[in-house]
Amino acid sequence: METTTIQIDKALKEKLESIKLHQRETFNELISRVIDNDSLENASRESLIATVEVMSDPELMRSIAQSMEEIEKGDYGTSLDDFRKELGA
């Protein structure tokens, strides 16, 4: 692994030291962990926003409910074979 040096002020270094999981955790490991956690939080946030958008659309929610009722009745819509025929595949 190729390494490099970065400059940070002492106050930031102290903050980084305070959030280490253990004394021997390297700054490389620490920074990677923080970035990975932030990415997961952003993904979760984006997923939550998408869910709220779907749930805020009454027409879409009615369509989902209708589809769920059809599935419960055993109506699974167009079969894959019929769909392929429609496409001419």
Task: Return the domain boundaries, the chain.
Answer: 25-74
Q: Given this model, what pLDDT does residue 28 score?
A: 92
In 2-62, beta strands by DSSP E: none
Rounded to whole angstroms, the Cα distance separating 36 from 20 reads 15
Q: Which residues are within 8 A (CB) of 81 and not within 5 positions of it... i.e. 6 or more apart? A: none
Whether 61 and 55 have beta carbons less than 8 Å apart is answered as yes
Whether 16 and 30 have beta carbons less than 8 Å apart is answered as yes
Angle at 44 between CA 54 and CA 33, to 5 degrees: 170
pTM above 0.85, yes or no: no
| pLDDT tens column, 47-58 | 878 888 888 888
